[in-house]
């Protein structure tokens, strides 16, 4: 799936070639560099001996082994000062807002203190140390965009979608119309018929409730751009030329770049949200026949972080956040009650599936899943195929998930599905078939150890080996199922979007988790800049691997999931469609879903 440019494929091939000899070469290089650094270290500290070396960011490792990676990494820092200065020049000298004097960048800047004073974001960074400020290090500055970038779209909500009356779904602060609890499947309050693409509006309204908003951008840990990027492109996906599709994006980045806040970090502390999949914003060519706009390829957007419900494994400027579910609690107690109920439910079905086959896509395993489900006595199926179906009724779907132990979540047209979040909300353990459906996608919201809360059955086990899902799931002991379900239920608060018109007392919802992650990311970047740390070996193509790294790790290597994310060469890896095709098809399904 998902086409990539030829250039983008190169690292793949290199990786393969490198893969074979990798181990011996790495060993060789490691020992070589170890020797080099040891000699350098020795010369510096023992021969020169006076310790006058500038130590901005360089701390001697506590480890007695001088050749560990951390040591090499940290020591390398002092050798890239030239780069640091270039970066600083770009960041520091441009803007003179707030009377911050233009800083001359030169050799005299090598002193740690002076470096620290010179970045515009130092004031923001320092608020972290202010123990009497509960918002220290957490402030968010929200750009006051012209209304055409957000509010006006809500006023013209009829034009957002050709098939769906989005006015219904932008009501109630983006939650949509309330769901009545007729069948007793939901709770009496907090349930809404939320559209799967409504996160733009929900997130923006949640931001209004954020505890640490500031009007002073100089203390902001991050800058939020309340552009309804998803709603905007929804209007023009079909039948409009590329200049119409790109117009708002171009206007937005033009507006942003003129703001003083932009020059502080070239926009690298900015973030925005689009409740659609990344492929709608990644048009590869300037041809009208190609899909979507080019927002995420604009230089300014490359510096920003865009939160989307499906991110690209190969790009570093987008991040996956959960699709909205139907549950939007207004207080903690509503969540706790829901969790308790999900613990106690009787679940007669071993597994279930709600979805349509993809007969046009020969690589899709959905047909096989549906066959297996039909043949199994312990599987419940909601077919979304033709005509009137229960598959789009929130209560039928939630009812089924609530009566199942496991819920199958194969890819659709793109990697991800809203359904994965609906099923976890129902305490149903998700079964994924592609790591891009969740594990490499929602790394902020889901635990790294996916075996705790889900089952992974690689697509090829179904496609080629025709393994029995029933048998595979039967192998999991009753005790383990209970432990896994408890984990899933424990994840619920962080996967849902609370009612943006009120505030949960203590629980952190999906919004809180995302904002915290953005702040952490920007803060780390600022510290790296201050310390002169650059990730010279960063390869954007490998973005998904970096997201899986443990705290403190910086380098990636070969990964067991490489075949899932490499371009199909023998027709076996991944599924063959282009990103444009995926996006287009998901739009078709949207039409089918909601008409
Ligand atoms: C620390 O935070 C408090 C509370 O917000 C504020 O009044 C004070 O000015 C801050 N101190 C510094 C040094 O910024
Ligand atoms: C694109 O479409 C708009 C209106 O639909 C039209 O005004 C404009 O001239 C078109 N641009 C190009 C380059 O075809
Ligand atoms: C992106 O950030 C870099 C600094 O890291 C800056 O040099 C560049 O101008 C920024 N791009 C835009 C379009 O502002
Ligand atoms: C992941 O979780 C499983 C189940 O709790 C456990 O057996 C396994 O050791 C964990 N793996 C890692 C790498 O922590
Ligand atoms: C897969 O296995 C089942 C029996 O477990 C069999 O009925 C079915 O025909 C097989 N499908 C394929 C495509 O081999």
Q: Ligand 2: which residue has its CA nearest to atom 4?
A: 244
Length in residues, the chain: 595
**The tokens 């353990």 sit on which residue?**
429
For residue 262, the ligand 3 atom closest to its alpha carbon is 14
The CA distance from 591 to 586, in Å, is: 9
298 Cα nearest atom in ligand 3? 13
pLDDT at 59: 31
Nearest-CA residue for ligand 3 atom 6 is 266
**What residues does each domain of the chain span?**
339-502
Q: 24: Cβ below 6 Å to ligand 1?
A: no
Task: Please choose, from the candidates 153, 303, 155, the residue with its C-alpha nearest in 3D space to the C-alpha of residue 295.
Answer: 303
Beta bridge mates, 431 = 408, 455
| Residue nearest atom 1 in ligand 2 by C-alpha distance | 241
Q: Measured in angstroms, how far is the CA atom of residue 449 from the centroid of ligand 4?
A: 6
Q: Which residue has the tokens 């902001």?
A: 220
Is 562 in contact with 15 (CB distance < 8 Å)?
yes
What does DSSP assign to residue 44?
A: I
Instruction: Output the residue whose Cα is nearest ligand 2's atom 14.
Output: 241
Kind of pairing between the strands at 429-432 and 455-456: parallel
Cα–Cα dist 511/513, whole Å: 5
Q: How far is CA 235 from CA 114, 283, 325, in A?
A: 50, 16, 23
Asked if 243 and 549 count as a contact pair (C-beta separation under 8 A), the reply is no
- Please report the pLDDT score of residue 87 as a whole number: 36
Task: Detail the DSSP E strand segments found in 378-470.
Answer: 379-383, 404-409, 429-432, 455-456
Alpha helix (H) residue ranges in 449-578: 459-463, 469-474, 478-495, 510-531, 543-548, 562-565
* pLDDT of amino acid 31: 56
Three-state secondary structure string covering 45-82: HHHHCCCCCCCCCCCCCCCCCCCCHHHHHHHHHHHHHH
Establish whether residue 540 lines the binding site of ligand 1, counting it when its CB lies within 6 angstroms of any ligand atom: no
Report how far ligand 4's centroid is from the alpha carbon of 518 (Å).
Answer: 27
- Contact of 90 with 103, CB cutoff 8 Å: no
Contacts of 274 (CB under 8 A, 6+ apart): 199, 200, 228, 229, 230, 233, 280, 281, 306, 307, 308
Closest ligand to Cα 450? 4
User: 508-531 as b/e, with b when 16 or more CB fall inside 10 Å?
Assistant: ebbbbbbbebbbebbbeebebbbb
Comparing CA positions, the residue from 260, 261, 278 lying closest to residue 270 is 261
Cα end-to-end span (Å), the chain: 27
**CB of 243 sitting under 6 A from ligand 2:** yes
Question: For a substitution probing ligand 3, which of 267, 268, 534 has the most ligand atoms within 8 Å of its CB?
Answer: 267
Please report the pLDDT score of residue 67 as a whole number: 31
pLDDT in tens, the chain (595 residues): 443 333 333 333 333 333 334 444 544 455 555 555 544 444 444 333 333 333 333 333 333 333 333 332 332 323 333 333 333 333 333 333 333 333 444 444 455 555 545 899 999 999 999 999 999 999 999 999 999 999 999 999 988 888 878 898 999 999 999 999 999 999 999 999 999 999 999 999 999 999 999 999 999 999 999 999 999 999 999 999 999 999 999 999 999 999 999 999 999 999 999 999 999 999 999 999 999 999 999 999 999 999 999 999 999 999 999 999 999 999 999 999 999 999 999 999 999 999 999 888 888 999 999 999 999 999 999 988 766 578 889 999 999 999 999 999 999 889 999 999 999 999 999 999 999 999 999 999 999 999 999 999 999 999 999 999 999 999 999 999 999 999 999 999 999 999 999 999 999 999 999 999 999 999 999 999 999 998 888 999 999 999 999 888 888 999 999 999 985 443 333 333 455 566 555 545 444 443 2
Structural domain 339-502, CATH architecture: 3-Layer(aba) Sandwich (3.40)
pTM metric for this prediction = 0.81
Please check whether residue 296 is in contact with residue 579, taking contact to mean a CB–CB distance below 8 angstroms.
no
CB distance 56 to 115 below 8 Å: yes
């Amino acid at each position: 799936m998902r086409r990539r440019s030829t250039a983008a494929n190169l690292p793949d091939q290199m990786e393969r070639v490198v893969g074979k000899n990798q181990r011996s070469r790495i060993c060789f290089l490691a020992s070589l560099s170890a020797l080099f650094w040891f000699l350098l270290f020795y010369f510096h500290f023992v021969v020169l001996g006076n310790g006058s070396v500038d130590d901005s960011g360089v701390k001697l490792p506590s480890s007695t082994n001088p050749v560990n990676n951390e040591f090499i990494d940290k020591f390398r820092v002092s050798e890239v000062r030239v780069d640091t200065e270039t970066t600083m020049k770009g960041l520091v000298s441009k803007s003179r807002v707030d009377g911050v004097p233009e800083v001359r960048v030169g050799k005299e800047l090598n002193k740690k203190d002076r470096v620290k004073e010179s970045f515009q974001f130092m004031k923001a960074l320092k608020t972290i140390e202010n123990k009497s400020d509960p918002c220290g290090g957490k402030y968010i500055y929200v750009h006051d965009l012209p209304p055409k970038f957000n509010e006006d779209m809500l006023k013209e909500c009829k034009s957002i979608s050709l098939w769906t009356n989005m006015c219904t779904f932008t009501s109630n602060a983006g939650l949509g119309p309330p769901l009545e609890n007729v069948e007793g499947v939901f709770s009496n309050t907090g349930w809404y018929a939320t559209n799967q693409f409504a996160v733009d509006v929900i997130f923006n309204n949640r931001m209004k409730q954020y505890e640490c908003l500031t009007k002073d951008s100089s203390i902001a840990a991050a800058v939020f751009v309340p552009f309804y990027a998803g709603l905007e492109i929804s209007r023009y996906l079909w039948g409009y030329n590329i200049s119409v599709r790109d117009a708002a994006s171009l206007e937005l980045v033009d507006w942003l770049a003129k703001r003083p806040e932009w020059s502080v970090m070239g926009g690298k502390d900015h973030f925005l949200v689009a409740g659609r999949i990344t492929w709608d914003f990644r048009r590869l060519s300037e041809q009208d026949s190609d899909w979507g706009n080019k927002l995420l390829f604009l230089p300014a957007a490359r510096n920003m972080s865009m939160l989307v419900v499906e991110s690209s494994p190969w790009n570093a400027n987008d991040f996956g956040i959960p699709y909205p579910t139907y549950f939007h609690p207004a207080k903690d107690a509503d969540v706790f009650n829901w969790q308790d109920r999900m613990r106690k439910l009787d679940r007669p079905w071993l597994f279930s599936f709600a979805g349509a086959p993809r007969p046009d896509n020969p690589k899709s395993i959905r047909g096989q899943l549906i066959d297996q489900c039909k043949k199994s006595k312990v599987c419940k199926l909601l077919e979304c195929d033709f005509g009137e179906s229960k598959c789009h009724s929130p209560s039928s779907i939630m009812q089924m998930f609530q009566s199942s132990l496991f819920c199958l979540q194969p890819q659709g047209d793109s990697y991800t599905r809203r359904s994965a979040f609906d099923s976890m909300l129902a305490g149903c353990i998700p079964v994924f078939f592609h790591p891009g459906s969740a594990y490499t996608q929602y790394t902020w919201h889901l635990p790294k150890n996916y075996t705790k809360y889900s089952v992974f059955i690689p697509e090829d086990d179904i496609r080629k080996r025709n393994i029995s899902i029933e048998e595979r799931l039967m192998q999991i002991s009753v005790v383990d199922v209970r432990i896994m379900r408890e984990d899933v239920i424990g994840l619920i608060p962080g996967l849902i979007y609370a009612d943006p018109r009120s505030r949960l007392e203590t629980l952190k919802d999906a919004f809180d988790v995302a904002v915290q992650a953005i702040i952490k990311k920007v803060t780390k970047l600022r510290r790296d800049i201050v310390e002169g740390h650059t990730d010279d070996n960063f390869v954007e193509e490998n973005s998904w691997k970096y997201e899986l790294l443990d705290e403190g790790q910086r380098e990636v290597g070969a990964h067991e999931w490489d075949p899932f994310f490499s371009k199909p060469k023998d027709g076996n890896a991944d599924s063959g469609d282009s990103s444009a095709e995926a996006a287009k098809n998901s739009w078709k399904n949207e039409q089918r879903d909601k008409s």
